[in-house]
Amino acid sequence: MPVRLLMGNHDDRDNFCNVFPDAPIDDTGFVQSALDTPAGRFLFLDTKRSDSHAGHYCAKRQAWLRARLEEAKGKPIYLFMHHPPLSVHFRPADELMLGDGEAFGSILQGHSIRHLFFGHVHRPIAGSWQRIPFSTLRGLNHQVWLDFERSRGIPCSMEPPAYAIAFLNADAVVIHTHDFLDTSAKYLYDPDLPVERQVVPMARATEP
């Protein structure tokens, strides 16, 4: 399976390139690349800002993005980036979002953006922005607790980490998220069996 790594807010671009010398970079040294697939064009963006945990998308990166969008020639486009370019109405995330989201959004207008995937917020959130569907999910380390009232600091939790599986069809984008270290009880339920046998703990469920 092809793998593309993105720059996060805690990463150092020079160290990243030394550790992952085969990772694609653009002509100006940013960790950006395009991948054409049967589902459409995937664009992997570098939103790292060197002096802040907030994101930035400078003129050089904007020029690269414009060129890759023009090359797509009407293909479905999927964007992958670390920082959200929009407010998610959650203070800890909004204080550290992409700083020039409005300029970034103007570049996307007129193109067939099917979905925007981003990280950074450590929360499962979905919605739309400029008529573009977006989604994000929990991180692989700590999570950010859902607290709309706290005015300082980042409320953290140790909720299970998650990954997502996206089905990219011609008529729909379907995304499943999975909390893969979730320790809650698992069981099989078969409503066609007698009541006393309908629920079977997964540890005892040896028959299909």
The edge-to-edge listing of strands for the beta sheet with 77-81 is: 33-37, 40-44, 77-81, 113-118, 132-136, 125-129
Q: How far apart are the first and last CA of the chain?
A: 30
Overall average pLDDT of the 81-86 stretch = 97
Strand, helix or coil for residue 74: coil
- Residues 46, 27: Cα–Cα separation, whole Å: 13
Mean pLDDT, the chain, rounded, equals 94
pLDDT tier at 91 (50, 70, 90 boundaries)? very high
CA dihedral 1, 119, 58, 89 (to 10 degrees): 150
Report the DSSP beta bridge partners of residue 191. none
Q: Quick one: pLDDT at residue 2?
A: 84
Percent of the chain scored above 90 by pLDDT? 90
Mean pLDDT across the stretch 88-106?
Answer: 94
Question: What does the pLDDT read at residue 74?
Answer: 85
Residue 207 clears pLDDT 70, i.e. is over it: no
Instruction: Note the pLDDT of residue 73.
Output: 84
Indicate the pLDDT class of residue 204, thresholds 50, 70 and 90. Answer: low
pLDDT, tens digit, for every residue of 26-39?
999 999 999 999 99
Evaluate if residue 126 carries a pLDDT over 60.
Answer: yes
Dist. CA 125–CA 3, nearest whole Å? 23
Could you give the 3-state DSSP secondary structure of residue 65? helix
Q: What are the structural domains, with CATH classification, of the chain?
A: 13-181 (3.30.750.180)
- Confidence label for 180 from pLDDT (cuts 50, 70 and 90): very high
Q: Nearest-CA neighbor of 130 among 149, 163, 102? A: 102
- At residue 205 the predicted structure's pLDDT band, cuts being 50, 70 and 90, is low
Q: What pTM value is reported for the model?
A: 0.92
Alpha-carbon gap, residue 115 to 173, rounded angstroms: 8
- Residue 170: pLDDT over 70: yes
